[in-house]
Amino acid sequence: MPQAIALPLRSVALLLALCGGCSHLGAGSGARDESPVVAELNGEPITQAELDAWIQRDLFERESSRGPSKLYELRSAGLDRMLTERVVDAARAGSELDGDAWLKQKLAEEGGVTSDEVASFYQKNKERLGGAPLEQVAGQISRYLEAEKGARIVAQLREQAEIRIHLVAPRLQVAATGPSKGPDSARVTIIEFSDFQCPFCRREAPVVNEVLGKYPSDVRLVYRHLPLTNIHPRAQAAAEASLCAHEQGRFWEYHDRLFDAPGKFTDADLSRMAGEAGLDARRYAGCVEERRYRAAVDEDAKAAEAAGITGTPAFLINGILLSGAQPASAFFKLIDRELAAAPASGAAAQP
């Protein structure tokens, strides 16, 4: 499958979220066929409906047990899908069509996807499609463009609806201690848990810089370590070395080199980058050999674990968790909300 079509693009995800809950839209309230028996226990039947209900409870309980932030993410995603389903349900009121069929009808009314649109998309993305001939990928392109148009229809319905979200994200209590950027008086503090060998952390570094650039006086960034040593064997060493750089006031210079020049992070690599960052070689070597900051890195990891954070990158924005590599817009949304809620003369809401 061509890579560009296989990517989980946001517009496709929105449509799939709708269709995932569409199967029962407009299904009516008539009696269902009796649920088949899937097992018996001491002569007592277990039906498929009972099994499905048990699976739903089990999945919810397992996900919600992962901490308040994970439960919030679960509820937030579920609420988003529920709202999408209900705005579509309201829009098709009076129609005998179910959600899927109604959406397809709306797409057809807008002209569907034309061959010219498919050809245009192909020309613009030919390289990303691996040079496959148009006739080989035309069907996939058409389905993708159809998903995009369907997503726009749903987005318009949501914009027209009066939606108020009262679900509140929990604030995790984590100390904002560590190397930092931005004024201490900033109204928003971002605590980043990161791993220097994590490719997603590396990818997120320019996004973090973009965020800091947009809010130079309102956002403070605090860097804490979460080396995932089970998959990144040199992450611990890099984290300790970075705090040796911090001891000399050069943490961010060293941080940037670690992310700009990813590699195996051998002792020689780390020492070379220390020189590039302007560190005193003798002081750095003594600090690293002594493993002076091993306990500090371990404390950061324990703080992350206590907060239920198990992956990197992870960001706490005034205590609200934002997990994984995120676009700058995700940060902007949360930061703007926090700034709107915080008085301009007040200090940041420290968790």
Same domain, residue pair 128 and 275: no
Same domain, residue pair 20 and 91: yes
- Predicted confidence at residue 24, as pLDDT, reads 37
Same domain, residue pair 316 and 200: yes
Same domain, residue pair 68 and 199: no
Report whether pLDDT(31) > 70: no
Contact between 48 and 38 under an 8 Å Cβ cutoff? The reply is yes
In a domain, 174, yes or no: no
Flag the least confident range among 91-95, 174-178, 248-252, 274-278.
91-95
- Predicted confidence at residue 346, as pLDDT, reads 44
- Predicted confidence at residue 344, as pLDDT, reads 65
Count of structural domains, the chain? 2
Domain boundaries, position 71: 3-24+34-160
Please give the share of the chain, as a percent, with pLDDT higher than 90. Answer: 72
pLDDT band at residue 25 using 50, 70 and 90 as cut-offs: very low
pLDDT band at residue 2 using 50, 70 and 90 as cut-offs: very low
Check which CATH number belongs to the domain holding 261 and give it: 3.40.30.10
CA 88 to chain centre: 26
Same domain, residue pair 190 and 284: yes
Report the candidate in 196, 158, 191, 153 with the shortest Cα–Cα distance to residue 174.
191
Average pLDDT, the chain: 87
State whether residue 296 is helix, strand or coil.
helix
Distance (Å, whole) CA 334 – CA 213: 16
Same domain, residue pair 155 and 212: no
In a domain, 350, yes or no: no
Contact between 321 and 191 under an 8 Å Cβ cutoff? The reply is no
State whether residue 302 is helix, strand or coil.
helix
- Whether the model clears a pTM of 0.75, i.e. scores above it, the answer is no
Same domain, residue pair 153 and 225: no
Q: How far is CA 157 from CA 18, 82, 100, 150, 173, in A?
A: 12, 13, 15, 11, 38
In a domain, 346, yes or no: no
Same domain, residue pair 130 and 192: no
Contact between 220 and 182 under an 8 Å Cβ cutoff? The reply is yes
User: Pick from 131, 160, 189: which residue ends a domain?
Assistant: 160
Same domain, residue pair 192 and 144: no
Report the candidate in 295, 249, 325, 320 with the shortest Cα–Cα distance to residue 68.
320
Largest CA distance in the chain: 80
pLDDT in tens, 84-100: 999 999 999 989 898 88
Distance (Å, whole) CA 88 – CA 92: 6
pLDDT in tens, 38-70: 999 999 999 999 999 999 999 888 887 878 888
Same domain, residue pair 252 and 337: yes
Distance (Å, whole) CA 343 – CA 202: 34
The residue to which tokens 């420290």 are assigned: 350
Same domain, residue pair 222 and 335: yes
In a domain, 184, yes or no: yes
In a domain, 325, yes or no: yes
Same domain, residue pair 205 and 76: no
Measure the CA dihedral 179/182/186/187, to 10°.
-80
